[in-house]
Amino acid sequence: MIIFKKIVEFKNYLRKLKNKKKKIGFIPTMGALHDGHFSLISRSISENDLSIISIFINPTQFNNQNDLFSYPSDLKKDINSLKIISENLILFNPSSEEIYSGNIVSNVFSFGGLDKYMEGKFRKNHFQGVATILQKLFDLVKPDNVYFGEKDFQQLRIVEYFVSNLGFNLNIIRCKTIRTDDGLALSSRNKKLDISSQKIATNLFKALNFVKENFDTLNFEKIYNKVRHFLSEFSEIKIEYFIIADEKDLKPIKTKDKNKKYRAFIAADVSGVRLIDNIKLY
Ligand code: AMP
């Protein structure tokens, strides 16, 4: 596996690759890799000539310095795991200085209103930071296919919008959410939870599943009340938002239109760790 830390060296390598007309799959991550990331990587390996992974904890997408500094990181373990998957992977692991040259600020993007709700509302400027780093990485890597998890569905929709709006010549590939056997969506942040909190966190999925099972029969008020009531029984869980939204424009809804597709979205603090999850309701 080749590891690049410097943009100049990475660029030189990529230039040679492009001359060989290799199809490039790209998986941007913040590291502390788990089976969710590995599923994206495996898919990229099967669909491209070469797969490039980036590990970069992007400071501009954090609206809270404590959250940034306590974000899980284990580069050695990540590198070992990647080597086991394939020796042919390329890892880009730059420093913050390398990416931002001391000027840690976001560019300004418009997301057509997709950032008005949920993460966009509760994590100010989060998506401006996400788009800033992705623009830099896409310009550098010039990938053919880029892999994103439905686990971060709002991010996925915003990336789809921004890629088409800015005219990037690449495909965004949606990948399904990988969960533990008892339903907890895998996340790097789960590493901050002890075993008992991880068990409690599975109730977020139970709540989402309840919505899916009852979406056709219960009205919205009942669904919202039942979810809030069910989760209020766990003192470790504090809901930040629970929303049913159109999966295309992400607008929260109160009435159903049979021709539209919906998802239920949740963000909650579980024993001091902020988790998000979502489920499709069709
Ligand atoms: P992150 O390292 O958290 O920025 O995530 C990098 C990529 O992995 C994003 O596209 C995420 O949506 C995706 N991802 C994270 N967790 C999961 C999961 N449990 N299942 C599938 N994809 C995931």
Digit-coded pLDDT (tens) for 67-86: 999 999 999 999 999 999 99
Q: Which residues pair with 242 in a beta bridge?
A: 266
Ligand 1 in reach of 50 Cβ (< 6 A): no
Our answer to whether residue 37 is catalytic in this structure is yes
156 and 72 inside one domain? yes
Parent domain of 33 = 2-175
Ligand 1 in reach of 177 Cβ (< 6 A): yes
56 and 149 inside one domain? yes
One of 34, 37, 126, 229 is an active-site residue; which one? 37
pLDDT computed for residue 18 by the predictor: 79
Sorted by sequence, the CB contacts under 8 Å of residue 67 that are 6+ apart come out as 274
CA 6 to chain centre: 25
Q: Does 19 have pLDDT greater than 90?
A: no
End position of a domain, from candidates 175, 196, 214: 175
156 and 266 inside one domain? no
Classify residue 182: in a domain, yes or no: no
260 and 170 inside one domain? no
Instruction: State how far the Cα of 257 lies from the Cα of 253, in Å rounded to an integer.
Output: 10
Classify residue 67: in a domain, yes or no: yes
151 and 206 inside one domain? no
Ligand 1 in reach of 148 Cβ (< 6 A): yes
131 and 193 inside one domain? no
pLDDT band at 254 (very low <50, low <70, confident <90, very high): confident
CATH number of the domain that 264 lies in? 3.30.1300.10
Ligand 1 in reach of 79 Cβ (< 6 A): no
Q: Does 20 have pLDDT greater than 90?
A: no
164 and 206 inside one domain? no
Q: Best of 26, 29, 123 to mutate for ligand 1, by most ligand atoms within 8 A of CB?
A: 29
At residue 171, the 3 state secondary structure works out as strand
Contacts 24+ apart (CB under 8 A), 165-174: 165/110, 165/112, 166/135, 168/138, 170/138, 170/142, 170/143, 170/144, 170/145, 170/146, 171/144, 171/145, 171/146, 172/146, 172/148, 173/43, 173/44, 173/47, 173/145, 173/146, 173/147, 173/148, 174/148, 174/150
Task: Please write the tens of the pLDDT for every residue from 97-152.
Answer: 999 999 999 999 999 999 999 999 999 999 999 999 999 999 999 999 999 999 99
Is the torsion defined by CA of 249, 241, 237, 268 positive or negative? positive
pLDDT computed for residue 130 by the predictor: 98
Strands (E), 201-255: 237-246
Give the residue from 157, 180, 166 showing the smallest Cα distance to 132.
166
165 and 194 inside one domain? no
End position of a domain, from candidates 122, 150, 175: 175
Residue nearest to atom 12 of ligand 1 (CA): 149
Percent of the chain with pLDDT over 70: 100
- For 259, the token pair is 């021709």
Say which amino acid occupies 116: K
Task: Please write the tens of the pLDDT for every residue from 181-190.
Answer: 999 999 999 9
Q: Does 48 have pLDDT greater than 90?
A: yes
Question: 19: CA distance to ligand 1 center in Å?
Answer: 31
pLDDT band at 17 (very low <50, low <70, confident <90, very high): confident
168 and 71 inside one domain? yes
Instruction: State how far the Cα of 201 lies from the Cα of 204, in Å rounded to an integer.
Output: 6
For the chain, how many structural domains are there in total? Answer: 2
CATH number of the domain that 83 lies in? 3.40.50.620
Classify residue 181: in a domain, yes or no: no
132 and 110 inside one domain? yes
What mean pLDDT value characterizes the chain?
Answer: 97
Cβ pair 282, 205 in contact under 8 A: no
126 and 206 inside one domain? no
Question: 186: CA distance to ligand 1 center in Å?
Answer: 8
- Flag whether the pTM goes above 0.95: yes
170 and 193 inside one domain? no
